[in-house]
Structure 1
Amino acid sequence: MLRERKYLFGTTILASVLALSAPAFAQTAPAQDPDEDEDETTVEEIVVVGSRIARDVYNSPSPVQVINREESTLAGLATTTEILQGVAVTGGTSQINNLYSGFVVNGGPGVNTIGLRGLGPTRTLVLLNGRRVAPAGSRGSVGSADLNVLPSALIERVEVLRDGASSIYGSDAVAGVINIVTRADIEGVVIEGNRQQTTQASGAGNATRLSIAGGIQGERWSFLGSVERFEREEIKLGDVEHAQCPTAGPYLPNTSGFEDFIDPLTGQPKCFSIDNGGVTVNTIATSTRSGIGAYGSATPGALGNFNRWRPNSSVSTGLIGFEGVGGPSAPSLDVRDTFDPRMLEETLFSPVATTTAFMSVGYDLRALGNAEIYAETLFNKRESSSLGGRQLVLDYAVGSLLIPANLSTGGPLAGNLGLTPGRNTQIRVFPYHQYSSEQEVDFAKQVVGIRGDLPISNWTYDAYVSYTNSRSEYQADLALTSRLINSLDVVVAPAGTPAALTRTGMGPAGQVTVTCRVNVGNTNANCVPAPFITNDTIGGYYPQDFINYVEEATLGVTSYDEFVASAGFGGELFSLPAGEVQFYLGAEFREASIDDTPDSASQTGDTYNFSTSAITRGSDSVWEVFGEVEVPLLRDLPIAKELTLSASGRYTDYESYGDDTTYKVGLLYQITDWVGLRATYGTSYRAPALFEQFLGATAGFLASTTDVCNNYDAPGRNPNLAANCASQGLPPGFTATSSVRQLNAGGAAAGLAAETSTNFTGGVVFTPTLPGRLGTLAVAVDYYDIQIDNGVSQVGSAFILNQCYTSSAADFAARSGYCAFVERAPVTNSLTVTNGYVNIATNVVEGIDYNLRYRNSFGPGDFLVNLNVTQYLERYNQLFPTDPTFTSVGRLGTPEFSASLNVQYSWDQWTVFWGTEWIDATTEEDDYFRRNGSSLKSFGIDSDLEEYYLHSASVRWGNDDLSLVMGVRNVFDVDPPTGTGYWVGGIGNSPTYSGYDHFGRTLFINVAKSF
C-alpha cells in the first residue's frame, strides 16, 4: 500500500470541503468500493497545520480560507504578495507593499508583509509547508516575514487560519496563521511566463515573471525544484493622473461642495506638495521686513510685512526681486510655493527584482519506522530602489559672502537649523531636493528533517531543524551636516587656492571669489563652497561640485538569523463510542538575533534633514513544550451528527521575558447534515519582537501640518487644545514652519513587557441540500473577538500629539500621560515626539466574517460563485487604562465592510472569470471631533472617501500540458477615491492604502507549458 502524506492547513482534500472558503462541517469518508484492488488504494494521511493531529478527514472549529493556484491566476495575481494582500484575506486592513517606498516601515523599503485582523504582521505567523518563515528585510525594524522570499512559481494554494493559534504554533500566531503550500504534483518540467502590462500613458508599472519548475521521483527518492525571476518596473508620481496635482480642496459650509485654492497666476487649482501639502519649497525666509505681496496674499501688489519670499524679477520696491508669500501680510500657506515639477519624478511604486530558487528532496530509509529524510532549501535575492524628495534647507549666516546685496540687509532670524553654529542666520533657503535609496536583501533558509512511524499503531513522528539568514545592504545618497556647515562658512579665497575649491558669484559688495574657511592653510581639506544665493539656488538647482561634496552614499548592513529545532509525535490514544481519541505532543527551541549597523554618519546624526539611526543589536531564545488532544464525544445521533472537543496547551519560556502558559479549546457541533456550530477560545503570550526590544533610537521627520497647534484658535477647535497651545506662547493663527521630529526606539530599556491576549471565535456553517438541480450551497458566518492586554505597539505621533494637547490644563502642565512623550522647543516652537514601543493597556478588534460558495451545472459546464465579506464591529486601543476609547472602524485602513466576489464558468477546456473587490466608504474624521460635537468640515477639511470597486475579468484555455490565461485587472480603470490632501495625505489627494489600485487598467497574460 502506498502512503501519501499531505500537509494541509485547516482544510481537507474533499472537494465538498474545498468548495467553501471557510472550515467545513463534519464529513463522512466515502465508502470504499469492495471490488477495488486494495493494493492500489491510496490512503491520504492529512496533517492539519493549525492542528497537529493527523486525520483522514478534516473537522475543525476554526474558520479557514483556501485560495488555490487557479483562482489566483484567473484574477491576474502574479506574486504571493498580490494574492495575500487582497481584501479577501486582509479584510480591507492596510498592508505594507511597494507603495510605501518613501515611508519608514518595519522591514525597510521594498518589504511586503501581511497582518490579519488589522493587528499587524508581528502577530500573524507565516508558514511555508507548515514551517515558519523567518523575518527578512533591512534596517533595524526587521521582525516579520517578507512575502517577497516565497517561491511563487511552486505555490499550490494558500491556507489562511482566521483564528488565534498561539498554543499550537507559538506566540506570534495571535491573529492567525497563513500557510503557503508548494506543489507536489509536478512530474517533468513546467515553464511558465506571466506578463502584466499597464495602460498608463507612460507605460510604467509593467511586470514580468519567468519560472522553470521540475519534479522527478525514484523508487526511494523524490526531487522538486524551481527557479524564477520577477521584475516590476517603477511607477513615478507623474505616471498616474490622480497623483499629479494634489489640491487643498477646502470645504465651504454654505455652498454646494468643495473648492480648491485658485492660483491667481494660472487661474487653475493650485498644486500642493506631493508629500501632503503645506511644506514650502523654492522660497527664502528672512526676518520680517517690508515688501510687495504676491498675488493671493493679504496685500497683493502692495507693500506689507513679510518673512517668506519667492523670486519675482518684476518687483523693484521693498525687497527687490522678491514678492512676499508669508508673514503678517500673507498668513495663508496657499500663497506659498509648495509644488515643484520635479516632485513628479519621485517614486510612487518602487521597482523591484527578485530571484528565487527552491528545492525539496526526500529519501525513504526503509528503516526507523518507514522513515523519510527530507530537506528544503530556499534562496531569494531582492533588489529595490526609490527616488524621494525633501527640503535641503540652507542657513546663510549674517554677513555671509554668499548673500547678494539685495538680501544682505535686515536682522537675523530667530534660531537656526544647526548650519551656522555660533552665528545668527540671516537668510534661510528652502529649495526642493531629490535623493535616491536602494537596498539588496539576500535570504537563505535550510531545513533538514526526518519523519516516520512509531512502533505503536497509527503513531507517527516528525523532527527537523532549520536555519535562516537574511542579510541586507542598504544605502541612500544623503547630505552630511558637517559638510554643509563647512561649505556655508566661506572666506575670500587666498591667492593660489585651487580653482576646484573656489566659487565666484555676487556677494554683498559685488562679485567675489570664495573658498571654505577649512580649506585655508589645510592642505588636506577638499571643501567645496555652497552656492551663492540666486534664483537657481532657491529653485533647488545646485552646482554639481557642491552636490558631490556634501552628499555621500551612506551604507548600512542588517543581518537577521533564526535557528529552530522542533520534534513531535502523535496518533490514536484509545477508542470511544464516537471514535478515536487522538493526541500530539511536541517540543521546540527557537533562537533569533538581529544586528543592524547603520552608516557612521547616520549613527552620529550627521545626515542632514534625514532620519538618524543607532545600532540595533540583540538576541532572544525560547523553549516550548506543547500538546493537543481531540476527543469525539457524540456521533450519528438524531440531534448530533458529531460533537467533538479539541484542546491544546503550550508552556513557553523566553530567555528575555520568562515563562507562561497558553491554551485553546474548541468545540465542533454538527447538528444535522446541513447545519453545524463551531467555537474556540484561546490565550496567547507574546514576547516583543527583537526590534521592539532593541531598536536603536531612530529619528525621522513628519510634515509641519502634523503640529496640532496649527490655527489652534480657529472656530470649532477643542478649547483644551486652544488653551494648551496658547500656554506655550504660540501666537493666534500660529502656523508651524518646522517639521515635527519623531523619535522611534525599542522599549527594552524602558521596561517593555510581554503582551497577553484572548481570542474567541464562534460561527455557524450551513450546507443545505437544494432541491432538484439547483446545485450546492455552503454558507459560513463567524464572529471573532480578540483582546490584547499590554499590547506592544507604537501609537503614532499624530495620536500622541492630539491626546496630549486635548488633555486637561493640569495634566498638560504636569507633562503627564501622553504629554510625557512631547517636547516643544522654546525659541523655534518646533516639536519632538517620542514614538517608542510601549505596552498599550488594551487593544480590541471585533468583527464578523461571511462566506458563501455556490456551485451548479448549467449547459455544458459548471458555474461557481465565491463571496467573502468582512465586517468590523469594533477596533480601538488605549495607552492608559483610564483613557477613553476611540474606535477606528470606518476610518481609512479599517473600513466597516470589505468584500470580494469571484464568479467563474468552466466547460471543456475553457474557463471565464469575473472578480470584484469592494471597500466600503471611509472617513478620516477623527472620533475625537465627533465626540466633541465638532467636524473637520467646519474648518475646510474633506476626509470622506467614497466606496471603491475593483473589477477583473479573464479567460483560460488549457489541456493536459498547456495553459493560457488572458485578462484585464481594474477593467474600468478606476482611480482611488480622493479627499482633502492635507488630511487624507499620501498620494496626491488619495490615501496611501494597499487596498486601492494605483496601477490603473492592467492587461495580463499567463502561459504555462509542461514537458
Structure 2
Amino acid sequence: MRNQKVNKNLKKHTLALSISAVLLTAQSYHAMAADTEDVERIEITGSHIKRGDMEGPSPVTSINADAIANSGVTDLIGLFAKLPMAGQGTFSTQGNSSDNTSNGGSSVSLRGLGADSTLILVNGRRVSVSPFANNIDTAFVDINNIPLAAIKRVDILKDGASATYGSDAVAGVINIILRDDIEGVELSAKLGDTADGGGKEQNLSMVWGNSTDKSSHTFTLDYFDREEILYGDRDYAKSSNQAALRPNDPFATDFRSSAGYPGTIALRSDSTIRMADTFGNDVCSPEDIVGDLCRYDYAPMMTSVPETERVSFLYMGKYEVNDNIRSFIELNGQHAKTRIHGAGSPSFNELFMDGDNINHPFADMPDHDFYQQDLTMRRRMVDIGNREKAVSSNYYRAIMGLQGEVKDWNWEVAYSYIKSESTERGVNGFANTRRTQEAIDSGLWDPFEPSSNSQESLDYIETTTTRVGTSTSKSLDGKISGPVMEMTHGDVGLAVGFEYREDAISDNPDDQFIRGEIFGTEATQANGSRDNIAVFGELAVPVLETLEIQFAVRYEDYSDFGSTTDPKVAFIWQPTNSLSLRGSYGTAFRAPSLHQIGLGNTDESPNLVDNPRCDAVGNINKACEPQEYTAVLSGNADLGPEESASYNLGVIYEVTDSFDFSVDYYNYDIEDVITKDTQFKMDTQGLDPNVVERLPSTIPGDPGEVVRIFDKFENIGNITTSGLDIEANYALPTAIGDFKFTYVVNYVLEFEDSRPNADGTMRIDTQAGDFEQPEVRWTFNTSWIKDDWNATLAVNYIGEFKQDASVATEGMSDIDAWTTVDTTINYIGIENTTLTLGATNLLNEEPPFTYHDFMGFVNSTHNSQGRFAYVKASYKF
C-alpha cells in the first residue's frame, strides 16, 4: 500500500517537475571545468572529498558577501528570513517579550521542519547550541553570534546530510564561511531608521588582514546596536483590542487580558462566580469591563523587536609549518545585551483573600453575596510597574588544528571548544507570589485598593529574577581524503574521518522560579550532558566521464540513547556541457536535545480548549473557546531520535552563456517526531486528576476550572513534505549598463504534520497552506552595473495561508500574501570608497492582518519593522 502511494505521488511530482522545468527557471552554482587538473581542488559543502568543480551531487545555494551587502539586512536572520526555502520555525528577536524563553536569539528553519532540524556550521564545523531553548523545547544555534562583516559566503545545502555531518542535518545544512583572504584594512559604518518609529540601527565594523609566504591573518571587529520597537509603535498592533482597531470587521477579537487593573473579584470556592472590581476608590474603568471581567490592554507596553547591542570579534590565522603541514586557528567571541519589555505581571486566581481579612472589599456590606466569603482574583500587577528583562550573553569559539598533504592525499585534524553563557534578569515588574500572598494576609497590601498601598508594601512584593544558562561543546575531529584507485574515467575519491564530541547544557532559574513563586512569566530549567563518537566514510566514483556517484555513511554512538547509522547515495550526470542531472537519497536523524531530555518542571501558557468541561457543562467560563492555561512541561529521559528519509532529483541547464536555470524536487519523510501535544493530552486525559488539576465546582457534573496541565515530550507524530526549488539567472548587457535577473522560488507540493488521535489513529494536524505554512515563497532580484554606479532591486513574496484553525470561522478570509521591495544604490567613484543608500520594505507594506493573536499579524512569518532606510560607507586601504 505504501509503495502504491509512493509511486502515485512520484508520478504526480514528476509531472509537476517536468512542467516547472519548462515554465520556470533558476540560479545555480554551475561551474564547468574543461581540465580539472588545472583547477585547485576544494572542499564544497555537502562532501568531505575535495574536487575541482563547485557543482556536486547535492543541491547547494551560495550567497556571497556582495549579495548579502546588497540585500540591506544587518544580521544573518534578516538574510535567512528572506530565503524562499526558510519556513515555519524560523525565528528572530522579533516577538521577544517578557514571556519568551530565548530572548535575543535567532535561528532558521529550512523547509519548515524546525530550527533544531537545520544544522548550522561555521567553516564546516559545528557550533554549540544556545543555553536558552526557544519556546522551551527547541535547541538552536544562535546565528546572531556571527556578524555579517566576517562572512565570505553562506552555503545552503538543501537536502538531508546526516551521513556527512551527523545529527540535526534533517532538513539541510547552512555553512557559514568566514573571510580569510583580506589584504589591508576595510572600515564600514551603517546607520538606519524605520519610517514608523523605533528600530533605529547603527553598525560599525573593521576587517584587517595580511599574508606572507608563511602565514595569513584576518581580524574582524564589529559593533551593532538596534533600538526597541514596541507593538504600541505600530497602528495595527498598538492595542490588544483588535475589535476596536477594526470596528467594521465582524471577526476582529478583543484580546485584552482577563487579568485587569485593579482586577476581577471571584469566590475562592467557585471562580466562575465573579464580578469586575467596581467597589471602593480604585475601580476598573468602564471601557475595560466586558461582561463580568475587568480586562487590560497589554499591547502598548510589549516589545515587538527588542533593544539589542552586540560587540563581536573574529580571528582567522594560518601558519605554514613546512611545505606539507600548516597550522590554523579560528577565534570568535561576542558580548551581547538585550532588553525586553512586557506589561505588568498577570495573576489568574493564584492569589486569595480570607473572608475576615482587614482589607476585604465587602467587610461593610453584609447584604452582598461576597460578604465574609473567601475571595480570589484576576488582576494585573500594574502597581509595581511593567515587566523588564535584561539578557546578557557571552559567546566564545576556539578552533586549533593542523592540515596538510601526503602525496595526493589531504588530511586535517582539529580541536574545538565552544561556550555560550547567558544571564537573564527580571529587573522590573516581577512579583513574588509567596510574598504577595503574605502581604495580603497581613493586610500590608490591598489588591483591591492599589492607590492606598505604601511603597514599603510594593517593595516587599516586587522581586528581581535571575536565570543563568551555559552551553558547551568540545570536540576532536579528523579526516583524510584523496584518490584511492584509478578508473577509466578518473580517480575514485575517498574520505574517511572521525569526530568525538562532548556537549553539556545548563539552564537554571533562581529558587523563586523553582518554587513556583513567580507568576505571569515562563521560565525553563534544564540540565544535561552527553558525549558521542562518530566515524564516517565517503566515496566519489567516476562511473563514466559524465557520471559521478557519491556514497556516504556515518555511524554515531551516543552516551544517552544509543547508536544510529545513516547512509546516503547521490549522483550527478552531465550528458552535455550545458546540462547536468543530479539526485540523492539518504536517511537522517535528530538526536533528542539535552533540553528535551533534561527539562525540569517548567510552566508555559498555551491556548487550549477545555473540551472535557465543554462536553460536560457547555461554555462555562469560555471552556469551549481557546484561552490561556498553565501547562507544566517536563523532559523525558526515554526519548529516542527522530528518524527520516529524504530524496532529491534535479536538473541544471545552462541554456546560453547568459541564461541558466535549475529545478530540484525534494521529498522528506520524518518519523517519531519529538514534540508535545497539550491539547491532545487535555482531550484524552482531561478528567484524570494526575494529568489535569482543576478547581472544585458547585455545578453538578462540572469537572471544574483548569488550574494546570502536566505534559512531557514524546516521540509522537510524523511529518512528510515535498516541493520544488527553482532558481534562475539571466544576464543582459545593454548600452545603459549590465543587468542581471535572478529568480528563486520554493513551491510546497505537500506538507503533512500528523499527530495521534485518542483511538490510536493519526490525524493531520497541519498541512500545506495552513496557518504559518504558505505554499509559495519567491524572490526576484535585479542588479545593474554602469561605470561607477550599481544598484539592486529585490521583490520578496510570501504566499497566502489559512487563518489559525483555533479562530477560523466561516466567512473569514485567509491571511493575504505579502510582497515587499528592497533596494540599494552604490557609488564607487571615490577611490577605495563605496557609498550606499538603501531601504528594505521600500513601500512600507504592513504585514497581512490575522485574527489569531493580539498584534494582528503573524510575527513568525511576517514582521513589524516596516520601511527601514539606511546609509552606509565603506573604505579600504
Query: TM-score when scaled to structure 2?
Result: 0.88
Q: Do 1:839 and 1:879's aligned partners in 2 also have CA atoms closer than 8 Å?
A: no
- Show the counterpart of 1:285: 265
Alignment partner of 1:100 is 2:95: yes
Q: How many residues align?
A: 831
Q: Distance in 1 between matches of 2:626 and 2:815?
A: 29
Q: Distance in 2 between matches of 1:946 and 1:357?
A: 41
Q: Do 1:985 and 1:992's aligned partners in 2 also have CA atoms closer than 8 Å?
A: no
Q: Do 2:27 and 2:729's aligned partners in 1 also have CA atoms closer than 8 Å?
A: no
Please list, as runs of the form range in 1=range in 2, the aligned pairs for 1:84-483 lying within 5 A after superposition. Answer: 84-90=80-86, 92-102=87-97, 108-138=102-132, 143-200=139-196, 203-249=197-243, 258-259=249-250, 272-273=255-256, 280-286=260-266, 307-311=274-278, 333=290, 336-340=293-297, 343-366=299-322, 370-389=324-343, 390-392=345-347, 394-404=351-361, 408-409=365-366, 425-426=374-375, 428=377, 430-431=379-380, 433=382, 434-454=386-406, 456=407, 458-477=408-427, 478-483=430-435
Q: Do 1:283 and 1:311's aligned partners in 2 also have CA atoms closer than 8 Å?
A: no
Alignment partner of 1:623 is 2:533: yes
- Show the counterpart of 1:655: 559
The change in CA–CA distance for 1:466 and 1:535 in structure 2 (over 3 A counts) is closer
**Which segments of 5 or more consecutive residues in structure 1 lack a partner in the other structure?**
1-19, 33-41, 262-269, 289-304, 315-319, 415-422, 491-515, 517-528, 636-641, 710-720, 770-774, 806-810, 930-934
Q: Distance in 2 between matches of 1:30 and 1:947?
A: 47
Please list, as runs of the form range in 1=range in 2, the aligned pairs for 1:762-781 lying within 5 A after superposition. Answer: 762-769=649-656, 776-781=658-663
Residue 906 of structure 1 is aligned with which of 785, 789, 792? Answer: 785
Alignment partner of 1:576 is 2:456: no
**Aligned amino acid, residue 646 of structure 1:** Q
**CA displacement 1:625-648 (0-9 Å, x = unmatched):** 10101111122xxxxxx1111110
Please list, as runs of the form range in 1=range in 2, the aligned pairs for 1:524-543 lying within 5 A after superposition. Answer: 529-531=444-446, 533-534=448-449, 536=451, 543=454
Alignment partner of 1:783 is 2:737: no
Alignment partner of 1:838 is 2:714: yes
**CA displacement 1:421-468 (0-9 Å, x = unmatched):** xx96336352353211111111101100000001x3x21101100001
Q: Distance in 1 between matches of 2:79 and 2:245?
A: 38
Alignment partner of 1:1006 is 2:872: yes
The change in CA–CA distance for 1:658 and 1:603 in structure 2 (over 3 A counts) is same
Shift of 1:279: 5.5
Shift of 1:346: 2.1
The change in CA–CA distance for 1:857 and 1:532 in structure 2 (over 3 A counts) is closer
- Show the counterpart of 1:565: 476
Residue 615 of structure 2 is aligned with which of 726, 741, 752? Answer: 726
Shift of 1:321: 7.7
**Aligned amino acid, residue 375 of structure 2:** Q
**Aligned amino acid, residue 122 of structure 1:** D
- Show the counterpart of 2:680: 800
- Show the counterpart of 2:20: none
Alignment partner of 1:937 is 2:809: yes
Shift of 1:337: 4.5
Q: Do 2:180 and 2:217's aligned partners in 1 also have CA atoms closer than 8 Å?
A: no
Query: TM-score when scaled to structure 1?
Result: 0.77
The change in CA–CA distance for 1:621 and 1:535 in structure 2 (over 3 A counts) is closer
Q: Distance in 2 between matches of 1:323 and 1:251?
A: 19
Q: Give secondary structure in 2 for the equivalent of 1:72.
A: helix
Q: Do 1:136 and 1:142's aligned partners in 2 also have CA atoms closer than 8 Å?
A: no
Q: Distance in 2 between matches of 1:589 and 1:562?
A: 10
The change in CA–CA distance for 1:915 and 1:603 in structure 2 (over 3 A counts) is same
Q: Do 1:630 and 1:647's aligned partners in 2 also have CA atoms closer than 8 Å?
A: yes
**Which segments of 5 or more consecutive residues in structure 2 lack a partner in the other structure?**
1-24, 698-703
- Show the counterpart of 2:543: 633
- Show the counterpart of 1:878: 754
- Show the counterpart of 1:5: none
Q: Do 2:591 and 2:641's aligned partners in 1 also have CA atoms closer than 8 Å?
A: yes
Shift of 1:696: 1.3
Q: Distance in 2 between matches of 1:1006 and 1:483?
A: 52
Shift of 1:737: 11
Shift of 1:777: 1.5
**CA displacement 1:945-969 (0-9 Å, x = unmatched):** 1111111122111256211111121
Shift of 1:549: 1.2
- Bigger mean CA offset, 279-288 vs 689-698: 279-288
The change in CA–CA distance for 1:756 and 1:68 in structure 2 (over 3 A counts) is same
The change in CA–CA distance for 1:427 and 1:80 in structure 2 (over 3 A counts) is closer
**CA displacement 1:793-833 (0-9 Å, x = unmatched):** 234x3x436xx54xxxxx66886xxx996554444512533
Q: Give secondary structure in 1 for the equivalent of 2:672.
A: strand
The change in CA–CA distance for 1:909 and 1:391 in structure 2 (over 3 A counts) is same
Shift of 1:587: 0.7
Q: Give secondary structure in 2 for the equivalent of 1:259.
A: coil
Q: Distance in 2 between matches of 1:150 and 1:787?
A: 32
- Show the counterpart of 1:761: 648
Question: Percent identity, aligned pairs only?
Answer: 23
Shift of 1:470: 1.0
**CA displacement 1:865-915 (0-9 Å, x = unmatched):** 111111122222334362122443112321011111111111222111111
Q: Distance in 2 between matches of 1:974 and 1:563?
A: 45
Q: Distance in 1 between matches of 2:695 and 2:368?
A: 21
Q: Distance in 1 between matches of 2:313 and 2:622?
A: 59
**CA displacement 1:400-432 (0-9 Å, x = unmatched):** 212345875467879xxxxxxxx9633635235
- Show the counterpart of 1:11: none
- Show the counterpart of 2:850: 979
The change in CA–CA distance for 1:468 and 1:424 in structure 2 (over 3 A counts) is farther
Q: Distance in 2 between matches of 1:21 and 1:564?
A: 38
**Aligned amino acid, residue 81 of structure 1:** I
- Show the counterpart of 1:744: 633
Q: Do 2:578 and 2:653's aligned partners in 1 also have CA atoms closer than 8 Å?
A: yes
The change in CA–CA distance for 1:141 and 1:355 in structure 2 (over 3 A counts) is farther
Q: Do 1:46 and 1:56's aligned partners in 2 also have CA atoms closer than 8 Å?
A: yes
**Aligned amino acid, residue 1001 of structure 1:** R
Alignment partner of 1:854 is 2:730: yes
**Aligned amino acid, residue 803 of structure 2:** E
**CA displacement 1:506-543 (0-9 Å, x = unmatched):** xxxxxxxxxx5xxxxxxxxxxxx113633747xxxx65
**CA displacement 1:191-242 (0-9 Å, x = unmatched):** 1111121112xx3111111011100112211111011111110111211111
**Aligned amino acid, residue 378 of structure 1:** N
Shift of 1:739: 4.3
Shift of 1:752: 1.1
